[in-house]
Amino acid sequence: MALASQFDSFIFDYGCVLVSDQTEEDKTQMARVMGVDVDTFQELYWSDRLEYDRGSESGYEYWLRLGSQAGKTLSADAIDRLTELDSRSWMHFDEPMWEWIAQLRAAGKPVAILSNMPRELGEALRAQTDRLSRVDHVTLSYELNSVKPEPAIYEHALEGVGTEPGRTLFLDDRITNVQGAELLGIQALQFTSRDEVLLRLRA
């Protein structure tokens, strides 16, 4: 494991690290349900997602707000459909990453997931998959009412893996979140691509 062997534990972001980004089909389907074009949908989707991830806004409230901003009145059925499509769009699992997690755990390295994630996705993952049970610890934003890059959410993950910050590696695709971890002394690496990161850590 080379470079990876220098760390006692590993903390992984979820979206765009352990799963692929949303596909164009995912975006198109959700935009169609909302009744807007894809570019407009994407702008609305990410405009204030953190409050939804924090758990201070329900899924119903989130989609109703986005619809209102788009000049649309969404029905309960449309919101249910959007919630389902949204959760499904974050389940394109990157199997080589999950295989590496299994290898790390087999080598005695604790592994955690640390994610800004809305309740609906977290509940769908637990109900429909076994993915969250494939790691030693899970820190999800909606359960703590805290989001990256706030210190509290990193501290929860650190406590879960039980290792010193300087001996813990955190991987996230967003540089802001990487920097948030580094402020607490956690070793962090921006996840640019699976092949590049795995090559670097194994070489």
The answer to whether residues 109 and 154 belong to one domain is yes
Residue 184 and residue 110 in one domain: yes
Pick the last residue of a domain from 89, 109, 126.
Answer: 89
Structure tokens at 197: 């990161």
| Residue 146: predicted pLDDT | 98
Query: Buried b / exposed e across 29-63, counting CB within 10 Å, b at 16+?
Result: bbbebbebeeeebeebbeeebeebbbbebebeebb
Same domain, 10 and 56: no
pLDDT for 2? 64
- Verify that 128 and 188 share a domain, yes or no: yes
Q: Per-residue pLDDT for the chain (203 aa), expressed as one digit of tens each?
A: 467 889 999 999 999 999 999 999 999 999 999 999 999 999 999 998 999 999 999 999 999 999 999 999 999 999 999 999 999 999 999 999 999 999 999 999 999 999 999 999 999 999 999 999 999 999 999 999 999 999 999 999 999 999 999 999 999 999 999 999 999 999 999 999 999 999 888 86
Q: Are residues 81 and 41 in the same domain?
A: yes
Q: Residue 125 maps to which CATH number? A: 3.40.50.1000
Of 89, 107, 139, the residue at which a domain comes to its end is 89
Split into its structural domains, the chain has a count of 2
Same domain, 68 and 103: no
d(CA 29, CA 36) in angstroms, rounded, equals 10
Q: What pLDDT, on a 0 to 100 scale, did the predictor assign at position 3?
A: 77
* Surface-to-core class of residue 175, CB atoms within 10 Å of its CB (0-12 exposed, 13-18 middle, 19+ buried): exposed
Give the model's pLDDT for residue 202.
81
Tens of pLDDT, residues 115-156: 999 999 999 999 999 999 999 999 999 999 999 999 999 999
Same-domain status, 98 and 57: no
Are residue 58 and residue 130 in the same domain, yes or no? no
Together in a domain, 78 and 134: no
| Same-domain pairing of 32 and 126 | no
Task: Based on the fold, state whether residues 76 and 176 are members of the same structural domain.
Answer: no
Task: Give the residue numbers spanning the domain of 65.
Answer: 24-89
> Of 89, 120, 144, which residue is a domain's last?
89
Q: Tell me, yes or no, whether 85 and 164 share the same domain.
A: no
